[in-house]
Amino acid sequence: MFSNETLARAARLIEASSEAGVMLATVESCTGGLIAGALISVAGSSSAFERGFVTYTNEAKIEVVGVPKKILAAHGAVSAETAIAMAEGALQICPADLSVGVTGVAGPGGGTPEKPVGTVAIAVALRGAQSVCEIPRFGGDRTAVRLATVDKALDMMLAML
């Protein structure tokens, strides 16, 4: 399922995290666990991967990682504010040091003029650092959007280390 390039990215992140003593967590909506899946495809990933959450609905985002209802009401699920709250929420509820929060519109439906299909908010949080978020727009079908999101998330996590 994953390309060789994606698996190489995941391996670099696992290696760098292991060397730094940093544990990883994922909070995923539109990717449905693919980021976690890429990471645990790497042999020895247990040295750096702590856990993953799939929070597909707004209720799951609220209940599992504590995304405030007011953020969802004001900005929607696909927003920098929500993605950051997802990533930071993981650090509040588990012993990971670095986390990613991903929420987006993978398609083929669900897009709006403001947030068309392919819009994804990807946030990375590291204990003691300022969280970062990017909102790229990926092309292609649902699978292409989800897989491009995995690659971007892995790259952002590695850059945050």
> In this structure, which amino acid lies at residue 152?
K
Distance in angstroms (rounded) separating the CA atoms of residues 47 and 30: 26
Q: Are 85 and 73 in contact (CB under 8 A)?
A: no
- Number of Cβ within 10 Å of residue 129's Cβ equals 11
pLDDT band at 1; cut points 50, 70, 90? confident
User: How buried is 58 (Cβ within 10 angstroms: 0-12 exposed, 13-18 middle, 19+ buried)?
Assistant: middle
For the chain, the structural domain boundaries read: 4-160
As a whole number, mean pLDDT of residues 11-32 equals: 98
89/111 Cα distance (integer angstroms): 26
pLDDT of res. 24:
98
Query: 50-66 pLDDT, tens per residue?
Result: 999 999 999 999 999 99
By C-alpha distance, which of 38, 35, 53 is closest to 94?
Answer: 53
Pick the CATH number of 4-160 from 3.90.950.20, 3.30.1330.10, 3.40.30.10, 3.55.50.30: 3.90.950.20
Q: Tell me the average pLDDT across 75-87.
A: 98
Q: Once rounded to an integer, what is the mean pLDDT over residues 125-133?
A: 98
Place of tokens 């909506």: 29
pLDDT at 159 over 90: yes
**Mean pLDDT, range 117-130, rounded to an integer:** 98
Q: Distance of CA 30 to CAs 22, 23, 99, 102, 105, Å? A: 25, 23, 16, 7, 7
